[in-house]
Amino acid sequence: MDFFKRNILAALIAVLGLIAVAYVGVKGNLQLLFGVVIPYMALLIFFEGIIYRVIKWARSPVPFRIPTTAGQQESLPWLKRTLADKLDNPSTFPFTLGRMALEVLAFRSLFRNTRSELIEAPQRPEGAKLVHWSYKWLWLGAIAFHYAFLVIVIRHLRFFTEPVPHFISLLGEVDGFVQFFIPTVYVSGVVLVLAGLYLLGRRITNPNLRYISLASDYFPLFLIIGIGTTGILMRYVYRVDIQAVKQLALGLVTLHPVVPAGIGAIFYVHLFLVCVLLAYFPFSKLLHAPGLFMSPTRNMTSNNRKVLHVNPWNYPVKFHTYMELEDRYREAMYEAGLPLEIEPETMETEGEEE
């Protein structure tokens, strides 16, 4: 088996193993462990890990602005700047906020994604030509994936709040507007799994991508697809007692944990995979979420040509005058035949010896 298949398999086996662990554990009556202890531990790791990371990032000095952007920077007054330039290369705080918002909410830089491919071109002597083209499918897959995830997480808050705030029920109604099947099919759940499968398929089928994909790229995808699949199975096929689930969930957030009897094993599998995701988050590529907010190329105004930035960490440098240098290297300079301000005294003694 080649290296690339091994990466895929390792991640897949890890997720299947986690599912088996939860299933066996619950069959062995470890509901308290999987329903209360592990969720609390996962939450602690999640929050502590993220705060630790963010503080670690905040300790790196970023003295200068990094305008690696596609727009004209603010410069001389007669250089025209369109709205796009101002958003891509903002020179004021509101536009920086706009750039950040576009990045976070619309994945603007991913939207610019291009693809380079060798395509057959018989009329050319090489028989092929390299084309670069704008490739929006990745953007579409990614944005569908992320928004579906967000909607699902917000909808899940109905298990964690009592009374359920109105906007959560409203979101549930909007999400279930197809009114197809009972229990009503939520579009976001289906979109999450389909988009996840697309993102996975992209890595597996494209040789260039497979070459740069590691187990740590496949693992989160398998994990989230696993969470979505167990959720969908739980909702539409192997029903569990949702009222008991809500009791458990409310027990967790009111800090009076209870483990109601009679919740099916599939719920604990679902919950365990979510806990693994939470605990894995601060150690993985998933940190791109908080990382985006800490990106100097996104969160700093690019006003390099407008404002003088002095490195506040410049340390005092001892300057050396020319005479100090000459004093120091006079002999060597003389031997190399360089012109000198003061001839070395040794000359005279050498002359005398001759």
Partner 1 sequence: MADYKNEFGWFAEKPKVEKKIYDRNKVAIGIVVFLVIFTIAFWKNLGKAVPPPKPALETAAIIKLPEKERTCVEDVEFMRQRHMRLLVDWREQVIRDGERYWTNSKGEKYLASLSNTCMECHTNKTQFCDQCHNYVAVVPNCWGCHLTKEEQVAKAEAK
* Contacts to partner 1 by CB under 8 A: 47, 50-51, 54-55, 58-62, 157-164, 168-169, 172-173, 179, 181-183, 239-244, 246-247, 250, 253-256, 260, 262, 264, 290, 293, 313, 315-318, 320
Q: Which does 192 bind (CB under 5 to 8 A by kind): ligand HEM, partner 1, ligand HEC, none?
A: ligand HEM
Helix H or strand E encompassing 130? strand 128-134
CB of 251 to ligand HEM, least distance (A): 10
Burial class (CB in 10 A: 0-12, 13-18, 19+), 11: buried
- The widest CA-to-CA distance across the chain, in whole angstroms, is 113
Dihedral angle sign, alpha carbons of residues 23, 24, 25, 28:
positive
Burial class of 290 by CB neighbour count within 10 A (0 to 12, 13 to 18, 19+): middle
> Contact at 8 Å (CB) between 88 and 70?
yes
Residues 6+ apart with CB under 8 A from 307: none
CA dist 264 and 270 (Å) reads 11
Nearest approach, Cβ of residue 203 and ligand HEC (Å): 33
**Residue 274's binding partner, choosing from ligand HEM, ligand HEC, partner 1, none, with beta-carbon cut-off 5 to 8 A by kind?**
ligand HEM
- Least Cβ distance, residue 28 to partner 1 (angstroms): 21
Answer with the entry of ligand HEC, ligand HEM, partner 1, none that 270 interacts with (C-beta below 5 to 8 A by kind).
Answer: ligand HEM
Residue 265 touches which of partner 1, ligand HEM, ligand HEC, none (CB < 5 to 8 A by kind)? none
Interface residue list for ligand HEM (CB under 6 A): 149, 152-153, 155-156, 159, 183, 186, 188-189, 192, 227-228, 231-232, 234-235, 242, 245, 249, 267, 270-271, 274, 277
Closest to 23 (Cα-Cα) out of 277, 275, 273, 280: 273
Q: How far is the CB of 109 from ligand HEM (least distance, A)?
A: 25
User: What does the binding site for ligand HEC look like in residue numbers (CB under 6 A)?
Assistant: 182-184, 235, 242-243
